Amino acid sequence: MNDTRPMIEVRGARKFFGPLEVLKGIDFSVARGQIVAVIGPSGSGKSTLLRSINHLETLDGGEVWLDGVQVNQKLDRRSFERHINGVRQQMGMVFQHFNLFPHLNVAENITIAPIKLKGMAKAEARALALKMLDKVGLADKIDAFPARLSGGQKQRVAIARALAMQPKVMLFDEATSALDPELVDEVNLVMKQLASEHMTMVIVTHEMRFAAEVADRVIFMADGAVVEEGSPAEFFRNPKQERTRSFLKKFLNG
């Protein structure tokens, strides 16, 4: 295997919602084990970009590659469905609103995909769920229903659910934005731990401090384009573009 090949590569990504051009030709790549934070004002297209990576949004132009396989390749409907389901199994996604399955308990939330999609035996899947819950510090909640969990706990279960598929990359779309402030840290902690295990991650976030702490690279988007990118140190200490400066200033002033 070629270890220098990027894990995620996006080339010339364009997306329209009706007449509105939301992504105006985005290029970026994420190396194996790299952590990229995507920041930018509301409506700049961060979520759309992230969702294009696992094809929850269909690009109107450009390419997305995961580990040498084109995600948005042209295939007939049936073949594409099979292809994309396979690709998505290799990408974990964490949503702002958790999207846990409320009719399933924590164990079932985590095991349903490995059991149904990978044919894993129930006992093995439960052991896997326990291991993943251990990672996020919630082993004691294995039989609880989502309605019984706090927001922070829900998001940690959602991360465990994604991890149980042993994905090559993890995509986070404002994983902590819906949480009460005192619950943010427990989720950030789990993400930092994943970072230390060299999980490849793309993290869309509004938390500048967290981005600075965890990311190898920061990408600043505005109006559907990448305005500036760099290491957190240069990006936050010495932003080159006026647009970046005014965005960061607004953030610092609250």
Q: Does 47 bind Mg ion (CB under 5 A)?
A: yes
Q: What share of the chain is helix, strand, coil (3-state, %, to 5)?
A: 40, 25, 35
Site string for ligand ATP, 9-28 (x = CB under 6 A): --------x----x------
End-to-end Cα, the chain, rounded Å: 46
Name which of 109 and 205 has its Cβ closer to Mg ion: 205
Q: Which residues contact residue 44 at a Cβ distance below 8 angstroms, ignoring those fewer than 6 apart? A: 221, 222, 223, 224
Comparison of 113 and 178: residue with beta carbon closer to Mg ion: 178
The binder of 42, among ligand ATP, Mg ion, other proteins, none, by C-beta within 5 to 8 A per type, is ligand ATP
Cβ-based nearer residue to other proteins, 45 or 239: 45
List residues binding other proteins (CB under 8 A). Answer: 54, 56, 81, 85-86, 88-89, 91-93, 95, 97, 99-103, 112-113, 116-117, 145, 147, 158, 161-162, 165
**Residue whose entry in the numeric block shows the structure tokens 């690009």:** 59
Q: Kindly report the length of the chain.
A: 254
Distance from C-alpha of 146 to C-alpha of 112, rounded to nearest angstrom? 15
When binding is defined by CB under 6 A, the residue of 5, 12, 27, 43 that contacts ligand ATP is 43
Contacts of 203 (CB under 8 A, 6+ apart): 35, 36, 37, 38, 172, 175, 191, 211, 214, 215
Q: How far is the CB of 250 from ligand ATP (least distance, A)?
A: 13
User: Residue 44's binding partner, choosing from other proteins, ligand ATP, Mg ion, none, with beta-carbon cut-off 5 to 8 A by kind?
Assistant: ligand ATP
Binding residues with ligand ATP: total (CB under 6 A)? 10
Question: Which span (4-12, 45-53, 78-86, 120-128) binds ligand ATP, by CB under 6 A?
Answer: 45-53
Pick from 47, 57, 169, 154: which is nearest to 98 by CA? 154
Q: Which residues bind Mg ion (CB under 5 A)?
A: 47
